[in-house]
Amino acid sequence: MVSQEIHSLIETLACDFMMAVPEEPGSLSGLLPVLKQLHDQCRSLKLKTEAKNIQKARKMINAILSDPCESKSKMTALGDLITSFSFSLGEMEEKKEGSDFDAVKVRLDQLSGLVASFCPGEIPDIGAILTNLDDLLDIPVNDDPPIFHDVALACKHYVEHITLEDIYQTKPIEEGVLLLRSIMNHRKKGEEFIFDYSDVLELLNADFETLKTGKKEYLDEMEPELTPAAQGEPEKVSAGDMEILSDFVSEAFENLDTIEIRLIDLEQDPVNAGIINDIFRPFHTIKGVSGFLSLTKINKLAHATENLLDGARSGDFIINRVAIDAVLESVDILKMLIGRVGKNLEKGFRQQDQDIDTKAMLEKLQKIQVSLTSGKKEPLGEILIRKNAVDRESINDALEIQRDYPDKKLGEILVKEKNADPGQIASALMEQNPVQKKVESQVKVSTQKLDDLVDYAGELVIAQAMLRQKTSHDPALSQSVAHLGQIVTNMQNIAMSMRMIPIKATFMKMIRLVRDLSQKTGKDVNLSMTGEDTEIDRNVVDALYEPMVHMVRNSLDHGIEQAADRKARGKAVQGNIFLRAYHKGGSIIIEIEDDGNGLDKERILQKAVGMGLITGNEQMADARIYDLILEPGFSTAEKITDVSGRGVGMDVVKSGIEKFRGHLAIASQKDKGTKFTISLPLTLAIIDGMLIRIGTEKYIIPTTAVQKAFKPGPGDYFTVEGRGEMVKDRGNLIPLIRLSDIYKQGTGRKPIRDCLVVVVESKDEKRALLIDELLGKDEYVIKSLGANLVNTKGIAGGAILSDGRVGLILDIHGIFSIAEEG
Amino acid sequence: MTDENTAMDQAIKATTIKTGKYLTFSLEKEEYGIGILKVKEIIGMMPITSVPRTPEFVKGVVNLRGKVIPVLDLRAKFEMPSIPYTERTCIIVVEIDSSVSTILIGIVVDSVCEVLNIREEEIEETPKFGTRLKHDYILGMAKREGGVKILLNIDKVLSSEEMMEIAQAS
Q: Which residue among A654, A681, A708 closes a domain? A: A681
Domains parsed from chain B with CATH numbers? 2-169 (2.40.50.180)
- A618 and A481 assigned to the same domain: no
Question: Which residues from B are below 8 Å from A239, CB to CB?
Answer: 4, 8
Given A789, A793, A804, which is nearest B61 (Cβ)?
A: A789
Residue B53's closest chain A neighbor by CA?
A743
Beta strands in A102-207 (DSSP E): none
- List the single range of A242-251, A428-437, A796-805 with lowest mean pLDDT: A428-437
pLDDT digits (tens, 9 = 90+) for A475-518: 888 888 888 888 888 888 888 788 788 888 888 888 888 888 88
> With a cut of 0.90, is the ipTM above it?
no
Residue B7's closest chain A neighbor by CA?
A239
Q: What distance in Å separates the CA atoms of residue A35 and residue A57, rounded to the nearest whole number?
A: 8
Chain B interface mutation, best of A691, A806, A818, highest count of B Cβ atoms under 10 Å: A806
Beta bridge partners, A362, equal none
Highest-scoring range by mean pLDDT, A158-162, A290-294, A337-341: A337-341
Question: Which residues from A are below 8 Å from B170, CB to CB?
Answer: 791-795
- A573 and A703 assigned to the same domain: no
Residue B161's closest chain A neighbor by CA?
A788
Q: What distance in Å separates the CA atoms of residue A158 and residue A380, rounded to the nearest whole number?
A: 55
Non-local CB neighbours of A43 within 8 Å, separated by 6+ positions: A51
Indicate whether A80 pLDDT > 70: yes
What is the pLDDT, as a whole number, of residue A748? 62
Q: Is A411 part of any domain?
A: yes
Say yes or no for a CB contact (<8 Å) between B49 and A745: no
- DSSP three-state, residue A8: helix
Distance (Å) from the C-alpha of residue A470 to the closest C-alpha of chain B?
A: 20
Q: What distance in Å separates the CA atoms of residue A12 and residue A33, rounded to the nearest whole number?
A: 11
Say yes or no for a CB contact (<8 Å) between A793 and B167: no
Given A455, A456, A791, which is nearest B170 (Cβ)?
A: A791
Tell me whether strands B67-73 and B102-109 are parallel, antiparallel or unpaired. parallel
Residue A240 at interface with chain B, using a CB cutoff of 8 Å: yes
Tell me whether strands A806-810 and A795-800 are parallel, antiparallel or unpaired. antiparallel
Indicate whether A229 pLDDT > 50: no
Q: Are the beta carbons of A573 and A524 closer than 8 angstroms?
A: yes
Residue A450 at interface with chain B, using a CB cutoff of 8 Å: no
Segment A691-715 mean pLDDT: 85
For A:487-526, CB contacts with B below 8 A are: none
- DSSP three-state, residue A295: coil
Q: What distance in Å separates the CA atoms of residue A45 and residue A3, rounded to the nearest whole number?
A: 9
Q: What distance in Å separates the CA atoms of residue A465 and residue A481, rounded to the nearest whole number?
A: 9
Closest to B104 measured CA to CA, from A126, A789, A28, A707: A789
Chain B interface mutation, best of A221, A738, A789, A811, highest count of B Cβ atoms under 10 Å: A789
Say yes or no for a CB contact (<8 Å) between A789 and B51: yes
CATH number of the domain within which A277 lies: 1.20.120.160
pLDDT digits (tens, 9 = 90+) for A607-654: 888 877 777 777 777 878 888 887 777 765 555 455 554 445 677 788
pLDDT category of residue A142 using cuts at 50, 70 and 90: low
What is the pLDDT, as a whole number, of residue A38? 78
Question: Which residues from A are below 8 Å from B8, CB to CB?
Answer: 239
Q: Are the beta carbons of B50 and A694 closer than 8 angstroms?
A: no
Given B68, B105, B166, which is nearest A784 (Cβ)?
A: B68
Residue A695's closest chain B neighbor by CA?
B50
Instruction: Return the H-helix or E-strand segment holding A461.
Output: helix A447-470
- A325 and A194 assigned to the same domain: no
More confident of the two residues B20 and A314: B20
Question: Which residues from B are below 8 Å from A783, CB to CB?
Answer: 67-68
Distance (Å) from the C-alpha of residue B26 to the closest C-alpha of chain A?
A: 25
- A121 and A150 assigned to the same domain: yes
Say yes or no for a CB contact (<8 Å) between A792 and B53: yes
Q: What is the mean pLDDT of chain A?
A: 74
Q: Which residue among A186, A221, A256 closes a domain? A: A221
Q: Is A230 part of any domain?
A: no
pLDDT digits (tens, 9 = 90+) for A14-59: 777 766 666 666 677 777 777 788 778 777 776 677 777 778 778 7
Residue A693 at interface with chain B, using a CB cutoff of 8 Å: no
Q: Is A232 part of any domain?
A: no
pLDDT category of residue A305 using cuts at 50, 70 and 90: confident
Residue B51's closest chain A neighbor by CA?
A808
Distance (Å) from the C-alpha of residue A220 to the closest C-alpha of chain B?
A: 15
Q: Are the beta carbons of A256 and A282 closer than 8 angstroms?
A: yes
What is the pLDDT, as a whole number, of residue A35? 79
pLDDT digits (tens, 9 = 90+) for A169-193: 666 677 777 777 777 777 666 666 6
Q: Is A227 part of any domain?
A: no
Q: What distance in Å separates the CA atoms of residue A310 and residue A280, rounded to the nearest whole number?
A: 7
Distance (Å) from the C-alpha of residue A672 to the closest C-alpha of chain B?
A: 49
Residue A791 at interface with chain B, using a CB cutoff of 8 Å: yes
What is the pLDDT, as a whole number, of residue B91? 94
Segment A220-232 mean pLDDT: 38
Question: Which residues from B are below 8 Å from A455, CB to CB?
Answer: 65-67
Residue A743 at interface with chain B, using a CB cutoff of 8 Å: yes
pLDDT digits (tens, 9 = 90+) for B20-48: 889 999 988 889 999 998 899 999 988 88
Indicate whether A222 pLDDT > 50: no
Size of interface A-B (CB pairs under 8 A): 94
Say yes or no for a CB contact (<8 Å) between A785 and B4: no
Say yes or no for a CB contact (<8 Å) between B58 and A745: no
Indicate whether B92 pLDDT > 90: yes
Question: Which residues from B are below 8 Å from A240, CB to CB?
Answer: 1, 4
CA distances from A185 to A105, A182, A188, A192 (A): 9, 5, 5, 10
Q: Is A745 part of any domain?
A: yes
Say yes or no for a CB contact (<8 Å) between B167 and A791: yes
Closest to A583 measured CA to CA, from A528, A503, A493: A503
Say yes or no for a CB contact (<8 Å) between A804 and B61: no
Q: Are the beta carbons of A233 and A224 closer than 8 angstroms?
A: yes
Q: Is A599 part of any domain?
A: yes
Residue A456 at interface with chain B, using a CB cutoff of 8 Å: yes
- A132 and A281 assigned to the same domain: no
CA distances from A289 to A223, A248, A285, A292 (A): 16, 7, 6, 5
Residue A348, by phi and psi: left (phi above 0), alpha (psi -120 to 50) or beta?
left
Counted domains in chain A: 7
CB-count burial class (<10 Å; 0-12, 13-18, 19+) for B69: buried
Domain that holds residue A18: 2-97
Say yes or no for a CB contact (<8 Å) between B68 and A785: yes
What is the pLDDT, as a whole number, of residue A213? 44
- A282 and A417 assigned to the same domain: no
Question: Which residues from A are below 8 Å from B63, CB to CB?
Answer: 800, 804-806
- A486 and A519 assigned to the same domain: no
- List the single range of A53-57, A345-349, A724-728 with lowest mean pLDDT: A345-349
Say yes or no for a CB contact (<8 Å) between A786 and B51: no
Q: What is the mean pLDDT of chain B?
A: 79
Q: Is A211 part of any domain?
A: yes
How does DSSP assign chain B, residue by residue? -HHHHHHHHHHHHHHHS--EEEEEEEETTEEEEEEGGGEEEEEE----B--TTS-TTEEEEEEETTEEEEEEEHHHHTTPPP----TT-EEEEEEEE-SSSEEEEEEEESEEEEEEEE-GGGEEPPPP-GGGS--TTEEEEEEETTEEEEEE-HHHHHHSHHHHHHHHH-
pLDDT digits (tens, 9 = 90+) for A564-594: 888 888 888 888 889 999 887 767 888 999 8
B interface toward A at CB cutoff 8 Å?
A: 1, 4, 8, 47, 49-54, 58, 60-63, 65-70, 96, 98, 103-105, 163-164, 166-167, 170
Amino acid at B54: T
Q: Which residue among A371, A397, A413 closes a domain? A: A371
Q: What distance in Å separates the CA atoms of residue A577 and residue A554, rounded to the nearest whole number?
A: 11
Q: Rg for chain B (alpha carbons), in Å?
A: 17
- A661 and A701 assigned to the same domain: no
- A714 and A604 assigned to the same domain: no
Q: What distance in Å separates the CA atoms of residue B160 and residue A69, rounded to the nearest whole number?
A: 82
Count other C-beta atoms under 10 Å from residue A273's C-beta: 15
- A630 and A695 assigned to the same domain: no
Closest to B48 measured CA to CA, from B103, B109, B108: B108
Instruction: Return the H-helix or E-strand segment holding A736.
Output: strand A732-738
- DSSP three-state, residue A737: strand
The DSSP output letter for A749 is: P
- A258 and A192 assigned to the same domain: no
Q: What distance in Å separates the CA atoms of residue A363 and residue A369, rounded to the nearest whole number?
A: 10
Q: Is A620 part of any domain?
A: yes
- For chain A, the straight-line distance linking the first and the last C-alpha, in angstroms and rounded, comes to 96
Chain A interface mutation, best of B5, B67, B157, B165, highest count of A Cβ atoms under 10 Å: B67
Half-sphere exposure of B60 (CA within 13 A, CB side): 17
Indicate whether A239 pLDDT > 90: no
Q: What distance in Å separates the CA atoms of residue B157 and residue B74, rounded to the nearest whole number?
A: 9
- A313 and A391 assigned to the same domain: no
